[in-house]
A and B are shown apart, each in its own frame.
Chain A
Amino acid sequence: MKWGLIIEIAKALMLARRKQTIIAATGVLFSITMFVALLGFMNGLNSMLDGLVINRTPHIRFYNEIRPNPNQPIDQSERFGESLNIIRSIKPSTGRLAIYNSEAIMRSLEADPRVLGISPKISAQVFFNVGTIDLTGIVNGIAVEKEAELFAFSDYITAGDYGDLNQTNTIILGKGAADRMLADIGDVIQVTTAQGSRLQLKVVGYYQSGLGDFDNVNSYASLATVQKMLGEPASYVTDIQVKLHDLDQAPAMARELAGIFQIDADDIQTVNAQFETGTSIRTMISYAVGITLLVVSGFGIYNILNMMIYEKLDTIAILKAIGFDSRDINRIFITIALAIGFVGGALGLLFGFLAGLGIDQIPFETEALPTIKTFPVDYNPKYYLIGGTFSLITTYFAGFFPARKASGVDPVEIIRGK
């Protein structure tokens, strides 16, 4: 078929009704702009909020939980193995928080191709001694460079340099804890561990995650500092944090490795299920709004095409009389609809991108989010692709029925009816 001629005729018809065509295209433009800007903004916020937790959360965390031994001696006895044994008031056996054989576990994790990286950690309960008052807190012993690389540790250091943690007897205080202790950078604070040993630590920075409760309690020091504080050897580690290449594998891998290493393992999906839910619902709402906008503009196109067909009945009749078949007429009007969709959609994507850039410039500063200075916008090409595709799909359907009506016009009726 000669598409050149069909496009030429479609173009001439559109130019003849220039104003209406522009209005229809503007409708598409507006809805695509809103669609892209809305989704970009919504998902920018989403990923920022998720990032607050998810960036910092290991995909799998290995640790030892102190709990009663589920395998009590009576269960192992042959005599009572088959019976229902009830033991009251079981207490946890003297377990230790440290992970047995941590170095071997870390070596085998590092060799696993699914693993992006691992970072060992020690969690130690401490008291910060401020005058006569003791504030409770947690000092996290971390492998500084690994933590920065895998868990964006450096993003949350609002003052000081995280590299200074590598010196022994230094600490980065949570912002809330530092405020309560009135500790400035360079000050020396005193820490008492649960076991009773005391240590002087120099404050080299502040840490602010944006979650107030977390910042009131948590502080950071190097692994070596915390091991020294607790009087433990260099192999002493209470947590192994693992980051995977593919987050979705976390639950299965956690189950698998927990069995192999005989250790407790939490995966990110289980721990943070509510974030996933929130994200997917917010995304769903923005898609719903965006698609509603598109459908509304589709009705606009439908209306305008219907009107155009009514006005151009003579033209359709004459085209049929000189040998255009119904399929050609159908294609002419579908071409008009798609052209409106394409031009409106393309400009819409451009304006949507500009709107995104605009939103990106609006200042957005809040205490809770130290790393955010302006509204976050997600420029993921996916939204542009979806917006573009939908603009063509809705305009196609908006053109479908008018085009069918046009192709069904009986030329004899029009020509004789005059």
Chain B
Amino acid sequence: MSALQTPLLEAKNIDKFFFNPTETQVLKKVSFQIRRGEFVSVVGKSGCGKSTLLYILSTMDTDYKGQLSLDGELISGRSADYLSKLRNEKIGFVFQFHYLLNEFSVLENVMIPGLKLGKYSRQELEHRALEKLRIFDMEDHARKKANQLSGGQKQRVAIARALINDPLLIMGDEPTGNLDKKNSDIVYNKFKELAADFGQTMLIVTHDPEFAEGTDRIIEMEDGRVIRQ
């Protein structure tokens, strides 16, 4: 099997329980694969476990049963420090509530994961960060503080930040969920652009059917199970 055909992300029989207030199984034997270059959306009613699944896939939540492999490497059961490194290098994350660091400028926000990775020098990173911002037409705002931006602008910066280390995979938890129609469209178009122009692998959780329509593949969940993929 050549590298291209190895699934980038593979989940096998993922089970997840919540114990508070009573034991509830939120994910039941969830299994699927994502290949390189795919633009996948996960849809389902709220409470169906799609966000929970995403946080497990993102390696931030380690409290689950089952096996998870990223880039052919089994990552279930690895140490938290190792997973942090992995997250830094291979996974970009976009949240519903944009979550920029308000203490830093837009440019610094984009640069921080790169500085943490330490692969490039500061000058190179600055150059790369500006490039990423240019994709989202945000380079004019590079010197502003993060809290001076509008919601849509913040979300675009957050996507630029997710891209800074050229991750294998970008994950999004309802990235357009908190935006108005106009900004939501801009962000949506940027995701489309990333998929089309850069062949970026992306896994986006959404409840926006329009958004899901535009992706390569839709994984539909209901009641903790994948019912269609």
Contacts and interface: CB of A to CB of B under 8 A. Distances in A.
Interface of A: 2, 4-5, 8-9, 12-13, 15-16, 314-315, 317-328, 411-412, 415-416, 418
B179 to A, nearest CB: 15
A44 to B, nearest CB: 46
Interface string B77-97: 000110011111100010111
A313 to B, nearest CB: 11
A320 B103 contact: no
29 contacts: A2-B116, A4-B115, A5-B116, A314-B99, A315-B102, A319-B101, A321-B93, A322-B93, A322-B113, A322-B116, A322-B161, A323-B86, A323-B87, A323-B88, A323-B89, A323-B113, A324-B88, A324-B116, A325-B81, A326-B80, A327-B81, A328-B116, A411-B60, A412-B60, A412-B61, A415-B55, A415-B97, A415-B173, A416-B51
A415 B98 CA distance: 10
B104 A12 contact: yes
Interface of B: 51, 55, 58, 60-61, 80-81, 84-89, 93, 95-97, 99-104, 112-113, 115-118, 161, 173
Contacts of B85: 323, 325
Contacts, number: 77
B16 to A, nearest CB: 11
B112 A5 contact: yes
B166 to A, nearest CB: 14
Contacts of B113: 322-323
Contacts of B112: 5, 9, 319, 322
A317 B86 CA distance: 16
A120 B100 CA distance: 83
- With most chain A CB atoms within 10 A of its CB, the pick from B99, B104, B161 is B99
Given A13-B103, A323-B88, A325-B80, 16 more contacts: A4-B115, A5-B116, A8-B115, A9-B103, A12-B103, A12-B104, A16-B103, A317-B99, A318-B101, A320-B60, A321-B58, A321-B99, A322-B112, A328-B84, A415-B55, A415-B99
Nearest to A323: B88
A323 B103 contact: no
A323 B104 contact: no
Contacts of B84: 320, 323-326, 328
B161 A416 contact: no
Contacts of A318: 99-101
A315 B100 CA distance: 8
Contacts of B87: 321-323
Given A2-B116, A315-B103, A415 B95 contact: yes
Nearest to A12: B103
Contact of B101 (A315, A326, A416): A315
A118 to B, nearest CB: 69
* The 4 residue pairs across chains A and B that have the minimum distance between CB atoms: A323-B88, A325-B84, A12-B103, A325-B81
A191 B108 CA distance: 92
Nearest to A11: B103
A15 to B, nearest CB: 7
B115 A2 contact: yes
A276 B220 CA distance: 84
Contacts of A412: 55, 60-61
Given A315-B101, A412-B55, A322 B81 contact: no
Given A315-B103, A327-B81, A415-B95, A321 B60 contact: yes
A274 B81 CA distance: 60
A106 to B, nearest CB: 74
Contacts of B101: 12, 315, 318-319
A326 B81 contact: yes
Given A315-B101, A412-B55, A416-B51, A323 B117 contact: yes
A412 to B, nearest CB: 5
A325 B101 CA distance: 17
A8 B60 CA distance: 24
B82 to A, nearest CB: 9
B118 A15 contact: no
Nearest to B103: A12
B9 to A, nearest CB: 17
Given A315-B103, A321-B87, A326-B80, A416 B117 contact: no
B46 to A, nearest CB: 12
Contacts of A324: 84, 88, 116
B64 to A, nearest CB: 11
Contacts of A315: 101-103
A415 B118 CA distance: 26
B56 to A, nearest CB: 9
Contacts of A325: 80-81, 84-85
Contacts of A415: 55, 95, 97, 99, 173
A415 B95 CA distance: 8
Contacts of A4: 115
A11 to B, nearest CB: 9
A327 B80 CA distance: 10
